[in-house]
């Protein structure tokens, strides 16, 4: 396993980060524990979750189960200090029926409630990396392209208030470091400005989508990642499974991600299938597994700190983790870049 520094912290995290958002819906507690045991055995020390998980689908009946499964595993294995544990606080819910608290906001009261609930479920007294799952202000995210006008609400919580509340959690010892997710270049710059000007905690990472079908992180955020040491924690590196080739031809098998999480439509765009088919063909031409080709490309990017993988079976998990052992040839990279020039970011 390869390890990289998390931002400007003293933490070394595995290049492969174990994602968990199917645990509690598509995966049972026993299956979650089996995945954790296998991943740790392969050198993975970085685990990412969120208070709102699982999200396949989002449901108030299952919300929090993912953290609870991790918590029971930590309690049983007694290995808390051997892992780097990351979780997230949810921003405002687009659909109030899917909210977690009375009002999912990134103000002090909600953040304090969220961290205490997460600590209880995770059966730990500290979180290594506490991330803002998405901004409080309206921004283009989860597949929405561009911003033509500001739409801040009168009660939009300023980033300064959010970061000040997180600073107090650091002082209290409940969290060690902070990060952002689904954030924009302006938002990242504002977090960094507040840290610099007001002595507030400095963000250590940016968790955004990044894969062969969506490389928009390279346009505005990669320079921040490289110059400011706020590396990318790349989620959805397989584009919701589309880069494995299993959905080519339009077949959606029961129980797969696209079957159980139909609310996620960012990859249901006309350019997805043609681009995915070409990337899968590159893998086959080089004798590679399509999933490993897609993951190895993300692993190789200099602005990436960790690639977050998620699996519903141990076979998938083995394949994904083994991507760290694959170095793509110059010919394979050239073929990937040729597709990107022809079909750039079909699923932003």
Q: Which residues are catalytic?
A: 53
Which residue, 204, 174, 201, 252, is CA-closest to 4? Answer: 204
Euclidean distance between CA atoms 288 and 281, whole angstroms = 10
> Cα angle vertex 15, ends 10, 20, to 5°?
100
Strands 175-181 and 12-14, by their bridges, are unpaired
Q: How many Cβ atoms from other residues are within 10 Å of residue 219's Cβ?
A: 11
Terminal CA-to-CA distance of the chain, rounded, Å? 30
CA-wise closest residue to 130 among 220, 23, 203, 38: 203
Helix and strand counts by DSSP (H, E) for the chain: 12, 10
Contact 53, 71 (CB under 8 A): no
**Residue 76, both tokens:** 């049983």
Strands 175-181, 203-207: pairing is parallel
Token code pair at residue 99? 């909210």
Looking from the CA of 136 toward its CB, the CA atoms found within 13 Å total 20
CB distance 54 to 62 below 8 Å: yes
**Residue 179 to residue 59: CA distance in whole angstroms:** 25
User: In the 8-state DSSP scheme, what is residue 55?
Assistant: B
């Amino acid at each position: 396993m390869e390890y990289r520094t998390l931002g400007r912290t003293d933490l070394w995290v595995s290049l492969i980060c174990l994602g968990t958002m199917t645990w509690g819906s598509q995966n049972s507690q026993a299956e979650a524990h089996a995945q954790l045991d296998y991943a740790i055995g392969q050198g993975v020390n970085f685990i990412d979750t969120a208070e709102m998980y699982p999200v396949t689908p989002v449901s108030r009946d299952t919300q929090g189960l993912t953290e609870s499964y991790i918590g029971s595993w930590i309690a049983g294995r007694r290995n808390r200090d051997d892992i780097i544990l990351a979780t997230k606080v949810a921003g405002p819910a687009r659909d109030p029926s899917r909210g977690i608290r009375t009002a999912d906001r990134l103000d002090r009261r909600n953040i304090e409630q969220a961290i205490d609930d997460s600590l209880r479920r995770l059966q730990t007294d500290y979180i290594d990396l506490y991330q803002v799952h998405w901004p409080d202000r309206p921004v283009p995210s989860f597949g929405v392209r561009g911003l033509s006008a500001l739409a801040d609400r009168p009660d939009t919580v300023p980033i300064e208030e959010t970061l000040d509340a997180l600073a107090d959690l650091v002082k209290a010892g409940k969290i060690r470091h902070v990060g952002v997710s689904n954030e924009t270049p302006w938002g990242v710059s504002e977090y960094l400005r507040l840290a610099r000007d007001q002595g507030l905690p400095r963000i250590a990472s940016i968790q955004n989508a990044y894969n062969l079908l969506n490389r928009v992180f390279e346009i505005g955020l990669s320079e921040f990642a490289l110059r400011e040491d706020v590396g990318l924690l790349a989620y959805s590196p397989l584009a919701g499974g589309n880069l494995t080739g299993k959905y080519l031809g339009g077949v959606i098998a029961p129980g797969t991600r696209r079957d159980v999480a139909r609310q996620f439509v960012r990859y249901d765009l006309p350019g997805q299938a043609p681009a995915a088919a070409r990337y899968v063909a590159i893998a086959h031409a080089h004798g590679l597994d399509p999933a490993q080709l897609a993951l190895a490309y993300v692993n190789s990017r200099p602005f990436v700190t960790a690639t977050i993988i998620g699996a519903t079976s141990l076979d998938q998990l083995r394949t994904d983790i083994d991507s760290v052992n694959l170095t793509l040839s110059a010919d394979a990279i050239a073929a990937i870049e040729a597709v990107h020039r022809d079909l750039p970011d079909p699923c932003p």
